[in-house]
Chain A
Amino acid sequence: MDFCLSPKHAARQIEFREFADRELQPAGHTFPRDNLRKMAGRGYMGLPVPREWGGQGEDFFTYILLIEEISRICASTGVILAVHTSVGTFPLLYYGTQAQKERYLPGLARGELLGAFALSEAGAGSDAAALRTSARRIEEGYCINGGKVFITSGGEADLYTVFATLDQSLGSRGICAFLIEKGTPGLTVAPPEKKMGLHGSATTELQFTDLVVGADQLLGEEGKGFALAMSLLDGGRIGIAAQGLGLARASLEATAAYLASRLEKGDQVSQWARFTLADLFSRLEAARLLTYRAALLKEKGQPCSREAAMAKCFATDLAVEAAIRCIDLWPPDEYEGEYPLFRYFCDAKVTQIYEGTNQIQRLVISRDVLKTFHK
């Protein structure tokens, strides 16, 4: 075992941290185009994409460090990056044809194109295989009808990976994945949802009305779409764990700095405040180790479903609790300008929900635990 970051990872972590501190702004209520442009300028929109495809060729672990640091400053930017990379770019990289890769990958990796992922439907949330958006084979390719909900970067993205079923009676084996470009006739994007947090990230419904895509836009094989989506889950969850980690750090580091400044001024810091901080920082350290371990397993291609679920569940639960408890330690009137802890709390809540709710994570973990320890 070695709990120290490699010199290369440590150097990149510092680079990401300094970049986020200096260059990024919290998104507010507008889509953070400036942040994304700056990240693209550094190659961060395609960090783990091979160099031959316009990316930086970094490992998955480095990408996780990036998500953590970005989310610490702006969780909206963090989720846009995570969705763009984990589920907007990786499926193309893993399953795309040469032609599909040539067409889209360099643009995505350089951040000229933004990727999105359309799986959830009104009647298919945690039960993703119950999706009803239909794909019908036609002469020109496929005709798609249906609707998606809660699509991150909806309306802002240039390329959507959309899941639809050829035949609902086939269940998950009837599902296909399609690459659908922004502006394709038949694609309608609803106005962004009004959300509790992540105000900078656009979340929309998508409607497909007799939308025609060529057969060359099918990603992977017919009927393999669900397996494709599932294969992305572990990586996606580790990304959200890193987002939770970044958010938890945002709350905790700000609060520790505030309390330390009180001490410096000669004020007392109550034992209760100290103990709260001690508990939360201990859990933060644990969340960090769980997340990094899952990321390393993923990078090495080892099974990591349980570890990814544990990291996601633990880190995102902490992100919410850290924000709530830090609010009590830091009176709003002590802060000049926008009070950030409300934002951290509101942003954090959804990390317990998307990429598999934490209830789904507990299902994944308990199934594995029952299997492992029951002889």
Chain B
Amino acid sequence: MNFALTEEQEMTRKMVRDFAEKEVKPGAAERDENEHFSRELFDKMGQLGITGIPWPEEYGGAGSDFLSYVIAVEELSRVDASAGTTLSAHISLASWPIFKYGTEEQKKKYLEPMALGEKLGAFGLTEATAGTDAAAQRTTAVLDGDSYILNGNKIFITNAGEAEIYIIFAVTDKEKKARGISAFIVEKGTPGFSFGKKERKMGLRSSPTLELIFENCRVPKENLLGQEGEGFKIAMSTLDGGRNGIAAQAVGIAQGALEEAVAYAASREQFGQPIGNFQAISFMLADMATKIEAARLLTYQAAFLESQGLPYGKASAMAKLFASEAAMEITTNAVQIFGGYGYTKDYPVERFMRDAKITQIYEGTSEVQRLVISRYLLKG
């Protein structure tokens, strides 16, 4: 065992932190207020080489590992969770399945520009009636000559509208249920593919979340990802790794909130002394810091296991569950430490608290994580 980051991982942290402090943090509150997605920031991430951190250099990646990737998500989320989720959805949800299941041609055509940050990715699984029960897909894909014809709607799609590349799940054989689902790579601008309502959200407001609409949308046959019927497996295995990204987001959000709370507790005076001198506050800070360390170790462990090619499903579910629950508690306590000021938009802790909530919900709710973990524990 060795809990020290490698030099390369340390460098990634330094580089992303520097970028986050200088380029991401300054406009974060304004983008949140205006629900403004900044494509410029994503372009800059591309120039920094973090849009393809874990992919081999031959596909435009940085040739680094999943641990470096989660560190990058953590550092972005520490100042702006929306920026964190943009990268997380791009790498974990959109790029990962192409890397894992894509043909050589698909990797060259799609993974490479995504890794270089020239194209942004998104992942369309959820439907109005297929949330936690993701196998209950209604979107259909029918083979017709050299293409599949897609019909149906997807909701709550991160990066939608802005992304150029979409991983879309649709039913190719209704009889086979989960085994009748297939995955497709769909490009923005394909006739019959349009965007519906943009969600107005509680948090992650500068990350766009839209509905996708497919009306007789023709997708070339060669854009089938994996085999027909493999879609559900692809979705579930993608989410296993995606959970590491969400766990990292939660750790970053919590860390950002803790640092704000510590600075405030040290400078805010009541009863003639900094409120950090009072145990009511300092013990809260101690518990916050301990839980962040615990969450970070769980997250890094899951990413390490993935990097090593070892089983990581249980570890990533534990990391996601623990980190997101901790982030919600920690950000709520950060607002508490700030008191009335924390409730205003003059300070960023209310944004951290709003942003934390979704980490308990997306890429598998906390309840789903508990179910997944308990199946590993009880083998049934």
| B168 adjacent to chain A (CB < 8 Å) | no
Q: Is the CB of A290 within 8 A of B293?
A: yes
Number of A-B contacts (CB under 8 A): 148
Task: Judge whether A375 is part of the interface by a CB distance below 8 angstroms.
Answer: yes
Q: Is the CB of B378 within 8 A of A260?
A: yes
Residues of A near B304 (CB, < 8 A) are 1-3
Q: How far is the CA of A370 from the CA of B337 in the complex (A)?
A: 14
Taking a contact as CB atoms under 8 Å apart, the answer to whether A370 and B321 are in contact is no
Whether the Cβ atoms of B263 and A365 lie closer than 8 Å is no
Q: Is B300 an interface residue (CB 8 A)?
A: yes
Q: Is the CB of A365 within 8 A of B289?
A: yes
Contact of A286 among B258, B294, B370 (CB under 8 A): B294
Q: Bits for B281-313, please: 1 = Cβ < 8 Å to A, else 0.
A: 011011101100111011011001100100000
Task: Name A318's closest neighbour in chain B (CB-CB).
Answer: B294
Q: Distance (Å) between the CB of A95 and the closest chain B CB?
A: 29
Contact indicator per residue, chain A 256-268, by CB within 8 Å of chain B (1) or not (0) = 1001100110000
Contact of B286 among A263, A286, A369 (CB under 8 A): A369
| B276: A residues at CB distance < 8 A | 366, 370
A to B CB contacts below 8 Å, 9 in the list: A3-B1, A3-B304, A277-B377, A278-B371, A292-B1, A313-B286, A359-B283, A363-B283, A367-B282
B67 interface residue, CB < 8 Å from A? yes
B374 near A: Cβ within 8 Å?
yes
Which of B2-10, B140-148, B227-235 touches A? Answer: B2-10
Given contacts A281-B373, A369-B262, A369-B289, A260 and B379 within 8 Å (CB-CB): yes
CA distance A363 to B287 in the complex (A): 10
Assess whether B286 is in contact with A293, with CB atoms less than 8 Å apart.
no
CA distance A37 to B259 in the complex (A): 50
Question: Is B378 a contact of A282 with CB atoms below 8 Å?
Answer: no
B55 / chain A contacts, CB cutoff of 8 Å = none
**Are the CB atoms of B290 and A263 closer together than 8 Å?**
no
With A and B bound together, what is the CA distance between A289 and B286 in angstroms? 18
Q: Which residues of A contact B369 (CB under 8 A)?
A: 278
**Secondary structure dominating the interface of A:** helix
Please name all residues of chain A whose beta carbon is closer than 8 Å to the beta carbon of B290 when the two chains form the complex.
290, 310, 313-314, 365
Q: Hey, what's the 0/1 contact readout for B203-220 against A, CB within 8 Å counting as 1?
A: 000000000000000000
- Whether A373 touches B282, Cβ cut-off 8 Å, given contacts A5-B1, A260-B379, A296-B2, is no
Inside 8 A of A310's CB, which chain B residues have their CB?
Answer: 289-290, 293-294
Q: How far is the CA of A195 from the CA of B193 in the complex (A)?
A: 71
Q: What residue in chain A is nearest B288 (Cβ atoms)? A: A369
Measured CB to CB, the closest approach of chain A to B199, in angstroms, equals 28
Most buried by B among A61, A271, A364, A365: A365
Chain A residue nearest to B274 in the complex (CB):
A370
Residues of A within 8 A of B282 (CB): 362-363, 366-367, 370
User: With A260-B380, A275-B370 in contact, is A373–B283 under 8 Å at CB?
Assistant: no
With A1-B4, A3-B304, A278-B377 in contact, is A290–B283 under 8 Å at CB?
no
Please name the residue on chain B nearest to A271 by beta carbon.
B371
Q: Which DSSP category, helix, strand, loop or mixed, fits chain B's interface?
A: helix
Q: Is A279 part of the binding interface, using a Cβ–Cβ cutoff of 8 Å?
A: yes
B367 contacts partner chain A, Cβ-Cβ < 8 Å: yes
Q: Are B370 and A3 in contact (CB under 8 A)?
A: no
Q: Does B266 contact A (CB under 8 A)?
A: yes
The proximity string for A residues 147-168 relative to B, scoring 1 for CB distances below 8 Å and 0 otherwise, is: 0000000000000000000000
A264-B380 Cα distance, complex, nearest whole Å? 9
From residue A126, how far is it (CB to closest CB) to chain B in Å? 13
Contacts of A51 in B (CB 8 A): none
Q: Cα distance A155–B300 when bound, in Å? A: 46
Contact assessment for A2 and B321 in the assembled complex, using a CB-CB cutoff below 8 Å? no
From A61, which residue of chain B is reached at the shortest CB distance?
B1
The answer to whether A289 touches B297 (Cβ under 8 A) is yes
Of B3, B287, B321, B372, the residue contacting A362 (CB under 8 A) is B287
Distance of A60 from chain B, by nearest CB (Å):
13
Kindly state whether residue B318 has any CB partner on chain A within 8 Å.
yes
Task: State the Cβ distance, B38 to closest chain A Cβ, in Å.
Answer: 27
> A9 at interface (Cβ–Cβ under 8 A)?
yes
**Shortest distance between the CB of B260 and any CB in chain A (Å):** 9
A370-B276, A373-B263 known; A285-B298 Cβ under 8 A:
yes
Which residues of chain B (345-380) have a CB below 8 Å from chain A?
A: 367, 369-374, 377-380
Q: Which residues of A contact B367 (CB under 8 A)?
A: 275
Q: Which of B3, B5, B67, B367 has the most CB of A within 10 A?
A: B3
Contact B370 A274 (CB under 8 A): yes
Q: Is the CB of B373 within 8 A of A282?
A: yes
Point out the residues of chain A lying under 8 angstroms from B374, CB to CB. Answer: 274-275, 277-278
CB-CB under 8 A from B294, the residues of chain A are 283, 286-287, 289-290, 310, 314
With the chains together, A269 CA to B343 CA distance in Å?
42
Cβ-defined partner of A259 (8 Å) among B258, B279, B308, B378: B378
Q: How far is the CB of A369 from chain B (nearest CB, A)?
A: 5
Q: Which 10 A-B pairs have the closest CB atoms?
A: A274-B374, A286-B294, A366-B282, A278-B373, A278-B370, A365-B286, A362-B286, A289-B297, A282-B318, A374-B266
**Interchain nearest-CB distance for B202 vs A (Å):** 24
Q: Cα distance A113–B263 when bound, in Å? A: 51
Q: Does A169 count as interface, using CB distance less than 8 angstroms?
A: no
Residue of A nearest to B284 (CB): A366
Residue among A2, A3, A5, A296 with the highest chain B CB neighbour number at 10 A: A3
Question: Are A6 and B1 neighbours in the complex by a CB distance under 8 Å?
Answer: yes
Give min CB distance, B102 to chain A, whole Å: 29
Segment 254-288 of B: residues with Cβ below 8 Å from A: 258-259, 262-263, 265-267, 276, 279, 282-283, 285-287
A145 to B269, CA, bound (A): 46
Enumerate B163-199 residues with CB–CB distance to A below 8 Å. none
Q: Given A2-B2, A260-B379, A286-B322, is A375 in contact with B373 using a C-beta cutoff of 8 Å?
A: no
The one of A61, A271, A278 that contacts B321, using a Cβ cutoff of 8 Å: A278
Q: Which residues of A contact B377 (CB under 8 A)?
A: 256, 260, 277-278, 281
Residues of A within 8 A of B301 (CB): 3, 285, 289
Given A1-B6, A1-B304, A366:B283 Cβ within 8 A: yes
Contact B297 A286 (CB under 8 A): yes
